[in-house]
Structure formats: C-alpha cells, structure tokens
Amino acid sequence: MRIRYLEQTDSKDIFDIYSFTSVTEYTSQLPYLSSNQVASLFENPDNYTLVAETDGKVVGHVTLFLVSKSREKHCASIAISVHPEFQGQGVGKALMIEAINQADNWVNLVRLELEVHTSNEAAVSLYKTVGFEIEGTKRMSTFKGGRYIDMYFMARIAPSYQPI
C-alpha cells in the first residue's frame, strides 16, 4: 500500500468507494451520489487529500478540511472513507497516521476534529487509537435509516502544543 496525494486521475476509484451505501451511510452524504457530486467533494483548494493505493487502485482517502479564517488556521476537520473490500486491513489507520503526520509536521495544525456516528464502533476505536478524544455527543445530529442518530464530536490536539 502506498499513501500519496490525490490526483484528478483518481476520480473513478474515489467514485467507486462512494458508490457503496455501506460507505455513504457513515458520511454526511446521501446514498447514490453521481460522479459529479463525488468529484465536487474534492474540488476545494483548501482541502488536503491523501489516498491509499494498492495495486494501482485507490482504496481509501483522508481529507483535511483546512480553515481559511485567520483565528482558526490552526484547526482542520477530517473525513475518511475506505473501500468496503479493504476495511479492517489497516488502510484507515495508515491514512489517519499520515494525515496526522502532515498536520503536525508540514501543515502546522494544532487541532484536528471530526464527527462520527456513535454506533460506528470500529471508527471510534480507530480514532481513539491515533489520539482522538470524545469531546461531546451531538444528540439527534443526523438522519439515517429512517431515524435520528447521535454523533460524537472528537478531536486531537497535537502533543507538541504547549498552552500558555
């Protein structure tokens, strides 16, 4: 597996990942996205996206959503998706570790944050493993499967940060 920056030529593989409802059900997106809708998720130049490639195929991505507000440039939100056939094989962990490396050592970020469905135990476990902590629960935060569900708000503060 190789981690690298997202290229325009990756759009077909990224679309393939988002074609699975088992992937979109854990995102803020609706199922059955068009290829144009998926492509638009990655068009913002303020986003920093890495992909995991195996045998010439992109099998996952992690995106840092950089903030342009002056007083929040030290923060970024994270989104991650892994192809269902590659889940549970270390792809997500490798992507998260490299995204954190980029955030800490190259992009000069102090705070990384994300939202995750409280029922997504595998994702919550992964995020805790790489240093994220649950900061709170957003009750009735999103609509999924005909009902409202809760989400955790999780964040990681760079260990090198020393508050004043």
Phi, psi for residue 114 in degrees, rounded to 5? -155, 165
Mean pLDDT of the region 112-139:
97
Q: Give residue-wise pLDDT tens across range 60-83.
A: 999 999 988 999 999 999 999 999
Confidence class for position 27, pLDDT limits 50, 70, 90: confident
Please state, in angstroms and rounded to a whole number, the distance separating the CA atoms of residues 94 and 141.
Answer: 28
Q: 43 versus 50: which is more confidently predicted?
A: 50
Mean pLDDT of the region 113-123:
96
Q: In what order do the strands lie in the sheet with 2-5?
A: 2-5, 47-54, 57-66, 75-82, 111-117, 147-157, 133-144
Q: pLDDT at position 30, please?
A: 84
Confidence class for position 163, pLDDT limits 50, 70, 90: confident
Helix (H, G, I), strand (E, B) or coil at 71: helix
Domains of the chain, earliest start first: 2-157 (3.40.630.30)
Whether the CB-CB separation of 129 and 100 falls below 8 Å is answered with no
